Amino acid sequence: MSGRLVGEILDNAPADLPSGQRFVLVALAESAHDRDRIARYNSSVSDLSRRTGLATGTVRNNLSALAKRGLIRPIHAPGIVKRGSVQHYEIARLTSRHRFATWDDDDPEDDRTVIPIRARRRT
């Protein structure tokens, strides 16, 4: 759905992002909407596994690593069949300054957040 988001990721994702994480992020971006950057369709672990050809465990690990790094934010959507499962993800906005960003694993101030995704207020 969003070639613009896919291009943004391909052009600006951190250079040290492993290929599996990059592939999962591109698959999410492809199914996200430009307007709100949320991947709602084809974003379950089984769909991502089918679309990327990666094992479901590998997809889960990549999603977890992307969330820890601040590149995606899981959204717990109402009406999901399995309790506790997440099938929607918000994709962080990347710019050229993120391309060569590095993180210091020994720095306690470093939370690996690329650009904080604002928490949405529930009304």
> What is the per-residue pLDDT across 49-65, written as a single tens digit (0 to 9) for each?
999 999 999 999 999 99
Q: Which CATH class is domain 3-98?
A: mainly alpha
Tell if the pTM clears 0.85, that is, is over it.
Answer: no
Rounded average pLDDT over 91-109: 61
- Which class for 110: exposed (0-12), middle (13-18), buried (19 or more C-beta within 10 A)? exposed
The residue extents of the domains of the chain are 3-98
Q: Is 27 helix (H, G, I), strand (E, B) or coil?
A: helix
